[in-house]
Chain A
């Protein structure tokens, strides 16, 4: 008798918890979808607007679907209208940016890996102070160094050039890349370096043959971080370069803000997307390594 009573009351509880779980699950989905749409909404507006003609934009609302796939505004944003003065378009500046980003990312990552290697595996007196001062670099507001940097670039004779921007971005990337690599190499057993030294490998050989081949996760993290930072930078680009040497973010700004005639929202939107695409590609290609690299701990040998 008692057993029956108890089992029926358990059944009731079971039912109840089933409904509660179901409700919570649906509520969770609802909230997630809500937030996801909130974040995706601007992108939607950008893409849709870039595919509309000016006529459509004036008549419809922000959310209306375009009449057809019209890539004219993309072509204008990328290649211009084909008349002389005052025709700003992204193509040359896109290549400027590539020419700036690729070497800057490469050098800052490489130098960061080297410094991280030295700070963990070839410790010297006062190395923790060197690391501390490097860390300061992460916290210095970039506005504070604009003037001294401009002067430096002037003295070196590379102001208003892509090379100048490469130098600036490399130098200001080093604190971050060093931090990444140092924290990664700290978890690599120092015995590896000892074994290699006994085997007769020197400073560079150990770095290139032993450590670099196991650094893929942290290299991906660093490259994504640096690529995004440098590609999206506007401050350095607009301060240290103008005209022909400007990177894409500066050109985008010039294009959108300095047009004297009617505002062409579709071209503006297309330009903004073009300027953002490379970082998106990098994230899509290497994103999963990004998370893995950030969380990966010890190297299992």
Chain B
């Protein structure tokens, strides 16, 4: 039984297609993050799961029960919003029990739930306050509390941390993670922040233009991106994509960048399909953090490039190199001395590379 299942879901606003044939499944207790740039349809998808938006095609199942036409309140879900959406005229207590009161829960049960949740979230001292008298973090906590008291099957979070300042965001992120570890409730979480997605999710679904690009564990998303969009979207700075072509000689496969004749041997790369690789136009993907200034592994590939620009950002520095007129970024510890406009020996970690078809942009 899947806690949440989405089947061939399509949605359009007028003539704009927002979601195209989305398929998605979540197991009990998992934390799914919907990640993507703004306008990719992730919030719409969340609203559809909540029942706040109608569906054009396809269906949504919660616990194998088709809820596509069920009212939001009857879906056994709870949602936390970006603007917190606390009812301004009610105090914290009234905010938290509003849903239970609507559901005609008994007074004793309401009181019990309220006490339990407010203690758990440490808002029991704030019950009589109005939302306007709370700090950002407290509001966030009350909003989560309002969702918690209903004991939902699925928690929906719509960019809940975007309104907080950087420091508080990191704190609240950890709290949400702890919360999930303790409660083990299924979560669907929407964000455009990749750090949030990576640190919170047990699964990440990356979306673009209404299509899920990759739905996988954070490790696989980072190490084995499905296509160039995912490769480019995850990581900061994003993965270097060097245009070039493949060369196959008997058992040896190598990559040659455009405008260069240096062969990079990639015999150990696990291609999905071994055949027909010769002369294929590809992107060679290597992350800035997998380019070193010293040799670490025996398999590292040595290359001499000249540094063009160095950006110092405290704990590290990002250096731009010129590789036959293509820009390559590399990340080094800020302690290592890099001289601009000078040739430098670099080492590519070939165990961490990705290769994409230049036309289809898919991983091969």
Contacts and interface: CB of A to CB of B under 8 A. Distances in A.
A191 B81 contact: yes
Interface in A3-34: none
B89 A210 contact: yes
Given A205-B102, A210-B89, A214-B88, A199 B73 contact: yes
A196 B47 CA distance: 14
B54 to A, nearest CB: 12
Given A197-B52, A198-B52, A199-B98, A301 B73 contact: no
Contacts of A126: none
Given A189-B83, A191-B82, A200 B102 contact: yes
A214 B158 CA distance: 24
A201 interface: yes
Contact of A201 (B82, B98, B131, B146): B98
Contacts of B77: 198
Contact of B99 (A194, A200, A210, A213): A200
Interface in A175-199: 189, 191-192, 194-199
B99 A192 contact: no
B148 interface: no
A301 B83 contact: yes
Interface residues of B, number: 28
A301 B84 contact: yes
Main secondary structure of the interface of A (DSSP, over half): helix
A198 B84 contact: no
B18 interface: no
A198 B89 contact: no
A301 B79 contact: no
Contact of A301 (B47, B86, B102, B103): B86
Contacts of B110: none
A201 B81 contact: no
A204 to B, nearest CB: 12
Interface in B21-38: none
Contacts of B52: 194, 197-198
A226 B88 CA distance: 27
Interface residues of A, number: 19
Contacts of A200: 73, 99, 102-103
Contact of B85 (A191, A201, A213): A191
B220 to A, nearest CB: 33
B85 A192 contact: yes
Given A301-B86, A301-B88, A195 B102 contact: no
Nearest to B80: A195
B265 interface: no
A191 B146 CA distance: 14
A43 interface: no
Given A299-B88, A300-B132, A201 B72 contact: no
A231 B22 CA distance: 59
Nearest to B139: A301
A200 B152 CA distance: 13
Nearest to B99: A199
Contacts of B131: 301
B81 A195 contact: yes
Contacts of A189: 83, 85
A259 to B, nearest CB: 53
Contacts of B82: 191
Given A194-B79, A300-B132, A199 B85 contact: no
A197 B84 contact: no
A209 B83 CA distance: 19
B89 A214 contact: yes
Nearest to B79: A198
Contacts of B78: 198
B50 interface: yes
B87 interface: yes
B98 A301 contact: no
Interface in B120-141: 131-132, 139
B87 A192 contact: yes
Contacts of A199: 73, 98-99, 102, 146, 150
Nearest to B131: A301
A137 to B, nearest CB: 28
Nearest to A206: B87
B200 to A, nearest CB: 21
A198 B87 contact: no
B102 A201 contact: yes
A301 B132 contact: yes
Interface string A207-232: 00110011000000000000000000
A195 B89 contact: no
B85 A195 contact: yes
Contacts of B103: 200
A199 B84 CA distance: 14
5 contacts: A194-B47, A198-B99, A201-B98, A301-B86, A301-B88
Which are the 10 A-B pairs with shortest beta-carbon distances?
A213-B89, A200-B102, A199-B99, A200-B73, A191-B85, A195-B85, A191-B81, A301-B88, A198-B72, A189-B83
Interface of A: 189, 191-192, 194-201, 205, 209-210, 213-214, 299-301
Interface of B: 47, 50-52, 72-73, 77-79, 81-89, 98-99, 102-103, 131-132, 139, 146, 150, 158
